[in-house]
Amino acid sequence: MSRTILLIEDNEQNRYLATFLLEKADYRVVSAEDGPSGIALAKTLGMDLILLDIQLPLMDGYSVARALRSIDSLRNIPCIAVTSYAMPGDREKCLAAGCNGYIEKPINPETFVSEIERFLKPEKKES
């Protein structure tokens, strides 16, 4: 059974690359192009992980992360910032907003999947 990842990313090329890499690794990817749609999807979608761009239309990723963390059912879902913000303090700002991790863009296609897998809980084995 494949695991589900919610990708909140407004850039079509970034969405395409991340989706391609994740689907190739047998993940199911559901995408949202802005913060409010991402939050709405997160409330109804059973997902294992959220990948969150910080520069989003309508609502920035920091606000999205804080909103996701305020919802009880989503509080323990790993949320990883995937962002081009790479100045000193940007990682800390993402973590302070509620993200569990931080990956700089441009993503490295060779390591991207393994980077996010560090945040996934091991799958339960069926007996």
Q: Give me the domains of the chain, ranges plus CATH numbers.
A: 4-111 (3.40.50.2300)
Cα→Cα distances 25→17, 29, 61, 71, 75, Å: 13, 11, 25, 29, 26
pLDDT, average across residues 47-76: 96
User: What's residue 88's pLDDT?
Assistant: 81
121 pLDDT exceeds 80? no
User: What's residue 87's pLDDT?
Assistant: 79
pLDDT, average across residues 42-52: 96
55 pLDDT exceeds 70? yes
Who's near 51: CB < 8 A, 6+ residues apart? 5, 6, 7, 8, 9, 18, 80, 82, 116
pTM (2 d.p.):
0.93
pLDDT, average across residues 56-83: 96
Q: What is the DSSP letter of 46?
A: -
pLDDT band at 127 (very low <50, low <70, confident <90, very high): very low
